[in-house]
């Protein structure tokens, strides 16, 4: 909401000069706390960034365009729900302090193995933050690691942040999946 302020100051000659200053403030209205079980791909995201193209809901990262991903698939297992990122990527969503668990299967999407002429291997470290505090992280995972289950205590967490960081060989092929990513919440 824009705010305009005006004030006057005395000039050297005893006259009055008029000065105007302007400022802008952002107001954030806290959403209601979550109750029940929710997939992260169905929630509103407060912030998001991605290493290549947009983050995808219920699809792999794909390429640069939105909705160009494939079904999320890690080590031959296909998931109907989840989040497809490309390292370095992150998203933040509001839990409101009522959730107790975050669960997902994380890994590199099989699509990077299915591109003609590509022999690259993805490498990503997955991190989960609650209110800015690191709650868990994986070692650097590659295509060979398959899906790694996460079960994270998020009791009292208001903001959940999911991060996919580059591994050790740059960001090429780093299609990071948060398969079946969901939170379990109670009455607030």
Instruction: Give me Rg for the CA atoms of the chain.
Output: 22
| pLDDT for res 1 | 44
In DSSP terms, 106 is beta-bridged to 148, 178
In DSSP terms, 45 is beta-bridged to 93
Residue listed under structure tokens 């000065």: 19
Question: Are 72 and 60 a contacting pair, CB within 8 Å?
Answer: yes
Nearest alpha-carbon partner for 134 in 101, 161, 95, 94: 161
Whole-prediction pTM value?
A: 0.81
CA–CA dist 112, 145 (Å, integer): 14
Residues of the chain with pLDDT under 50: 1
| pLDDT for res 6 | 54
| pLDDT for res 32 | 84
Read out DSSP for 78-137?
EESSEEEEESSEEEEEE-TT-EEEEEEEEEE-GGGGSSTT-----EEEEEEEETTEEEEE
| pLDDT for res 122 | 77
Q: Which residues contact 72 (CB under 8 A, 6 or more apart)?
A: 58, 59, 60, 78, 79, 80, 81, 82, 84, 109, 177, 179
Q: What percent of the chain has pLDDT over 90?
A: 57
> Over the stretch 56-88, which tens digit does the pLDDT of each residue have?
999 998 877 777 789 999 999 999 999 999 999
| pLDDT for res 93 | 97
């Amino acid at each position: 909401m824009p705010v305009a302020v005006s004030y006057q100051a005395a000039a050297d000659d005893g006259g009055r000069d008029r000065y105007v200053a302007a400022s802008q403030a952002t107001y954030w209205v806290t959403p209601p706390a979550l109750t029940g079980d929710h997939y992260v791909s169905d929630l509103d995201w407060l912030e998001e960034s991605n290493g290549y193209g947009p983050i995808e809901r219920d699809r792999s990262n794909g390429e640069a365009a939105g909705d160009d991903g494939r079904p999320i698939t890690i080590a031959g297992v296909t998931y109907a729900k989840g989040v497809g990122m490309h390292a370095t990527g992150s998203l933040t969503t509001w839990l409101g302090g009522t959730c107790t668990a975050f669960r997902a299967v994380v890994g590199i999407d099989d699509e990077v193995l299915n591109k003609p002429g590509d022999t690259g291997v993805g490498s990503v470290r997955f991190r989960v933050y609650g209110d800015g505090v690191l709650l868990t992280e994986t070692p650097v995972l590659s295509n060979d690691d398959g899906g790694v289950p996460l079960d994270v205590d998020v009791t009292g967490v208001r903001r959940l942040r999911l991060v996919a960081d580059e591994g050790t060989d740059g960001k090429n092929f780093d299609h990071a999946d948060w398969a079946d990513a969901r939170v379990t919440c109670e009455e607030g």
